[in-house]
Amino acid sequence: MNILVMTDGYIPEYYGGISLSLHNELKFLVRKGHNIDVLTRSLEGKRTLRRIDGVRILRFRPFFQKFYYYLFPLDCFFINRRFLKYLSRENRYEIVIVDNVLSALAALYSGVKVPILYSFHAPIKGEIKINFLEGKYHKYFVKSMLIRCGANIMHYLEKHAIKKSSAVLVMSNYMRRVLYFYHHIEKSKCFVIPLGVDTGIFKPVKNSTLLRKELNLPLDKKIILTFRRLEGRMGIELLLRAIPNIVRIKNDSFFLIGGKGYLREKLEKIVRELNIEDHVKFLGFVSEDAKPLYYAASDIFVLPTKALEGFGLATIEALSSGLPVVGTSVGATKEIIFEIDRSLICSRSSDSIAKVILELLNRVDSSSLRTKCREVCIRKYDLAKITNSMIQVLYTMCEK
């Protein structure tokens, strides 16, 4: 099968849970004998063509370099449409997968007759609303007003693109409900396929002491890990404000926070205000090669999301590594964790997060819990199984 994927960002220029999961799935599709092309913009402003793990990646150079951020919608629409027409002459694509409204519109109005699968991650209007509440755009009044107006326009464009697409893919039952709330898409048009994890890469180790030495981590501490973009809806502030209550009882607790984002300075200030510098370490960006090591060297993973958790790749990476996951009762997190242990779910408050982490630190059955975490992950989220489910959806669409 010849497949074209149109996405806003792709590895290695862009690292994120969705981008990484997408590449892992495409890599498996290539191994199954499918031809995969990826069309994406270049964050470095260079037009390039290369292959990674058998996936052919074409990065286009934006028309507008200096003002690209503000002209992004026009740029993305016209360039994607032009390249789709060009690539379709070279390759007779049987399906096009898109993951954003602008790529979807470009495919719909390219004149190329091909089924379109819209991979829906989160509603544009919902994400921008959350960022506003967290103060991301308040610094620049004119810019914030333009973005709010643009959010309403993009919402209607998103609705139109999704309704016109052949089918819609979501990662969880929660996100299917969100999709219906914002766009009223019938269930028969929507497929639910969770993200997958390579359980051969993310796995426990027999001796975590050697890993801790290699990563320069404390050997005599209970390590609580999280990987999150440092943005408002990710809930890192909730976790930080829970730490004083935790270390007051469990002084050997040490927290690792991996990821980058616009809240880094604010979060570091909160750490100083709470006087917990000896218990918190910001890792910044962590490479994909190093992530499995940090999971394997830790004792607990925390997902303190405040809103719009469509799935959480980090959750299943942690489970695959044998780590119990403490998560807030937001979005799809409950769908993943309930089968393992409902007591690992907490509410969206620092007190609740502290309470569940302390209970977990005191559990005597931690070994059996870690085993169950990995067993459930292998059974439900192994990447090979998820990719096979994706192949079934693609063939179903082509038959229609």
What's the one-letter identity of residue 92?
A: R
In a domain, 203, yes or no: no
Three-state secondary structure of 185-206: CCHHHEEECCCCECCCCCCCCC
Say how many Å lie between the first and final Cα of the chain, rounded: 15
Indicate the number of domains in the chain.
2
Query: Residue 140 is part of a domain; what is its CATH number?
Result: 3.40.50.2000
- Among 241, 215, 338, 309, smallest CA distance to 17 is for 309
d(CA 136, CA 147): 11
Indicate whether 223 belongs to any domain: yes
242 and 168, same structural domain?
Answer: no
Say if residue 249 is in the same domain as residue 365.
yes
Tokens 């993200």 belong to residue: 195
Q: Are 289 and 267 in contact (CB under 8 A)?
A: no
Q: How many angstroms separate the CA atoms of 118 and 161, rounded? A: 8
Token reading at 49: 């063509």
Does residue 263 belong to any structural domain of this protein? yes
- CB 147, CB 88: distance < 8 Å: no
For residue 204, give the nearest of 298, 339, 326 by alpha carbon: 298
For residues 192 and 72, membership in a common domain is answered with: yes
| Residue 24 within any structural domain of the chain | yes
Sort strands 190-192 and 222-227 into parallel, antiparallel or unpaired: unpaired
**CA–CA distances in Å: residue 79 to residues 76, 103, 105, 396:** 6, 9, 12, 29
Indicate the length of the chain as a whole number.
400
The answer to whether position 202 is within a domain reads: no
Taking a C-beta distance cutoff of 8 angstroms, is the pair 379, 182 a contact? no
Locate 254 and state its tokens.
């040490």
What is the per-residue pLDDT for 398?
Answer: 83
Question: In this structure, what token pair is assigned to residue 332?
Answer: 């799809």
> Are residues 190 and 144 part of one domain?
yes
Asked if residue 304 is part of any domain, the answer here is: yes
Q: What is the pLDDT of residues 92-133, one digit of tens each?
A: 899 999 998 989 999 999 988 899 999 999 888 877 776 666
Q: Are 230 and 263 in contact (CB under 8 A)?
A: yes
Look at residue 146 in the predicted model and tell me its pLDDT.
67
Residues 272 and 339 in one domain: yes
210-214: long-range contacts, CB 8 A cutoff, minimum separation 24? 211/293, 211/296, 211/297, 212/297, 214/293
Q: Tokens for 65?
A: 């370099």
Do 276 and 187 fall into the same domain? no
β-sheet bridge partners, residue 255: 224, 280
pLDDT tens, 280-327? 999 999 988 999 999 999 999 999 999 888 888 999 999 999 999 999
- Smallest CA-to-CA distance from 22 within 93, 74, 92, 100 is with 100
Q: Indicate whether 299 and 387 sit together in one domain.
A: no
Positions of the chain with pLDDT lower than 50, given as ranges: 66-67, 69
- Per the domain annotation, does 132 fall within a domain? yes
Do both 369 and 349 map to the same domain? yes
Q: What is the pLDDT of residue 145?
A: 64
Q: What percent of the chain has pLDDT over 90?
A: 64
Which residue, among 322, 317, 327, 374, has the nearest Cα to 353 in the 3D structure?
327
pLDDT of residue 77: 82
Residues 151 and 238 in one domain: no
- 77 membership: H or E segment, kind and range: helix 72-90
Which residue range forms the structural domain that includes residue 238?
A: 208-381
Question: Is there a single domain that holds both residue 191 and residue 221?
Answer: no
Q: What is the pLDDT of residue 73?
A: 61
Identify whether residues 112 and 231 lie together within a single domain.
no
Say yes or no: 86 and 130 in one domain: yes
